[in-house]
């Protein structure tokens, strides 16, 4: 919306909450300008979430897909990074309040706080079936997966062995599909190569979707391709199957419990509590309704972008919660705020340029939807790999990760198959070093 030129002696100050794709892009666009920028994040690193499932399945290390925020923004003298947790926003005094009591003043506030999985009121399910949003959760999943194989190798009890070798992925979106494919391929390969008393056919991977099809955000034909491919690599897909309960021992559907050891939640997305901070009613999925210039409805100094914002595309439909949307919005808003704050020009209307929606299904299978045309199979996988390696923010990582991929693609090896000692010997982590140095 329109802004009048602000006469102020001090440099204008933009506060960005969240250093994900959107927040970082916004900060970088404001870099090396006459505007002071403060980036607040609970983490010290920016996480390349599209590849987080590879950490959960031991293909990559956390550091391969993480970048210290300070390193990314270190080259911009006008940007300050604060590691902290936002708990309040005082709109009258124009300050952001942190958990530890510190409050930071702003002239413009950009909310790029991302989203979390939606347990639809069953938050207690999260500890048994973590989502895939953080390194911590990816490690949890990796541990439960690898540890289950070790236990199964030693178990004499057939039923228990079956439970240990069963993984249940809840939600047939891109993350669920990626996890199901990766676990099935990793599991069968590991068993065949490294475990003496297990058989690949004992591995069970279930993909449970409440709706009528998986990859619902993609065209029907691509969903069908995913179903065919996953079924071929041994994933058991259950459609129209709402989850009734998640326990330490498994997942309940259709009144029966499916005994499982590794459970992953990939269903539904819920925006961060940003709406609560502003005291405005959240839109669908808890997202903040924003105007065409990404300002929060009725707030002239507060903007929201990425998964936090509910903005509509030219077709009038809400934009999807994708990294490319957040990134484009961040860059757009950063540039616009620079002009707006320094020259008083209004923030124009944001236009999303669709770069294509993609999901990887297996070792050389992926799908791409460019709207007007689609791509699937090995070629789509190659394109997916190229795009994602390219997107990795940091040159070193881009180089290393691509080498790891090429190597692993050839050898099918997994480099990060570590079970942390604290996960193994929870009772006495201090003694970890004792056996085997």
Min dist. Cβ of residue 408 to a copy of itself (A):
8
Instruction: Compare residues 196 and 343 and give the one whose CB is closer to a copy of itself.
Output: 196
| Residue of 67, 137, 178, 209 with catalytic role | 178
What does the H/E/C string look like for 316-348? Answer: CCECCCCHHHHHHHHHHHHHHHHHHHHHCCCCC
Separation CA 355–CA 140 (nearest Å): 32
Instruction: Compare residues 258 and 263 and give the one whose CB is closer to a copy of itself.
Output: 263
Separation CA 386–CA 398 (nearest Å): 10
Token code pair at residue 129: 């079936």
Residues 337/343/344/347 CA torsion (nearest 10 deg): -40
**Where do we find the tokens 């050898």?**
411
Min dist. Cβ of residue 91 to a copy of itself (A):
19
Closest CA to 217 of 351, 388, 356, 315: 356
Instruction: Compare residues 151 and 162 and give the one whose CB is closer to a copy of itself.
Output: 151
Closest CA to 368 of 252, 229, 215: 215
Give me the helix-helix angle, 21-29 and 323-343, nearest 10°: 30
Min dist. Cβ of residue 119 to a copy of itself (A):
10
- Helical spans, DSSP H, in 155-218: 158-164, 174-194
Min dist. Cβ of residue 175 to a copy of itself (A):
12
Q: Coil, strand or helix: which one is 59?
A: coil
Separation CA 249–CA 39 (nearest Å): 41
User: Is the Cβ–Cβ distance between 115 and 325 less than 8 Å?
Assistant: no
Q: Coil, strand or helix: which one is 310?
A: strand
Give me the helix-helix angle, 174-194 and 220-232, nearest 10°: 20
Instruction: Compare residues 139 and 376 and give the one whose CB is closer to a copy of itself.
Output: 139
Instruction: Compare residues 132 and 290 and give the one whose CB is closer to a copy of itself.
Output: 132
Min dist. Cβ of residue 410 to a copy of itself (A):
10
Min dist. Cβ of residue 164 to a copy of itself (A):
13
Min dist. Cβ of residue 334 to a copy of itself (A):
16
Separation CA 244–CA 300 (nearest Å): 43
Min dist. Cβ of residue 338 to a copy of itself (A):
21
- Helical spans, DSSP H, in 245-322: 274-278
Give whole-number Cα distances, 261 to 145, 161, 221, 237, in Å.
7, 10, 32, 18
Instruction: Compare residues 213 and 417 and give the one whose CB is closer to a copy of itself.
Output: 417
Residue 178 designated active-site: yes
Q: Coil, strand or helix: which one is 66?
A: strand
Separation CA 16–CA 120 (nearest Å): 28
DSSP 103-146: EEE-SEEEE---EEE--TT-GGGGGTS--SSSHHHHHHHHHHHH
Instruction: Compare residues 58 and 230 and give the one whose CB is closer to a copy of itself.
Output: 58
Q: Could you give the residue numbers annotated as active site?
A: 178
């Amino acid at each position: 919306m329109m802004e009048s030129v602000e006469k102020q002696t001090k440099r204008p100050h933009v506060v960005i909450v969240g250093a994900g794709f959107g927040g970082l892009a916004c900060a970088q666009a404001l870099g090396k300008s006459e505007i002071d920028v403060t980036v607040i994040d609970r983490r010290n690193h920016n996480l390349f979430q599209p590849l987080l499932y590879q950490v959960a399945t031991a293909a990559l290390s956390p550091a391969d897909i993480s970048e210290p925020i300070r390193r990314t923004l270190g080259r911009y003298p006008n940007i300050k990074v604060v590691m902290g947790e936002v708990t309040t926003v005082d709109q009258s005094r124009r300050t952001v309040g942190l958990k530890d009591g510190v409050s930071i003043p702003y002239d413009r506030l950009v909310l790029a706080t991302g989203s979390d999985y939606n347990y639809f009121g069953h938050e207690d399910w999260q500890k048994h079936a973590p989502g895939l949003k953080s390194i911590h959760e990816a490690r949890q999943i990796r541990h439960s997966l690898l540890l289950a194989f070790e236990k199964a190798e030693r178990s004499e009890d057939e039923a228990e062995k079956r439970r240990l070798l069963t993984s249940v992925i809840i939600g047939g979106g891109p993350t669920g599909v990626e996890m199901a494919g990766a676990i099935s391929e990793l599991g069968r390969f590991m068993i065949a190569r490294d475990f003496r008393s297990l058989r690949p056919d004992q591995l069970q991977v279930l993909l449970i979707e409440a709706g009528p099809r998986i990859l619902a955000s993609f065209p029907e034909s691509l969903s069908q391709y995913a179903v065919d491919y996953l079924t071929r690599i041994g994933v058991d897909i259950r459609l129209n199957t709402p989850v009734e309960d998640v326990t330490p021992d498994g997942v309940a559907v259709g009144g029966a419990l499916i005994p499982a050891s590794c459970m992953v939640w990939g269903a539904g997305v819920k925006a961060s509590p940003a709406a609560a901070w502003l005291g405005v009613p959240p839109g669908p999925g808890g997202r903040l309704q924003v105007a065409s210039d990404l300002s929060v409805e009725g707030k002239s100094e507060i903007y929201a972008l990425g998964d936090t914002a509910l903005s509509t595309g030219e077709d009038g439909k809400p934009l999807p919660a994708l990294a490319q949307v957040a990134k484009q919005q961040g860059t757009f808003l950063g540039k616009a705020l620079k002009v707006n704050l320094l020259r008083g020009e209004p923030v124009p209307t944001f236009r999303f340029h669709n770069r294509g929606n993609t999901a990887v299904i297996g070792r050389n299978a992926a799908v791409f939807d460019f709207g007007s045309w689609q791509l699937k199979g090995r070629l789509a996988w190659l394109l997916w790999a190229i795009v994602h390696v390219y997107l990795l923010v940091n040159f070193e990582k881009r180089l290393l990760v691509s080498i790891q991929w090429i190597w692993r693609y050839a050898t099918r090896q997994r480099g990060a198959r570590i079970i942390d000692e604290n996960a193994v010997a929870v009772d006495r982590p201090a003694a970890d070093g004792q056996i085997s140095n």
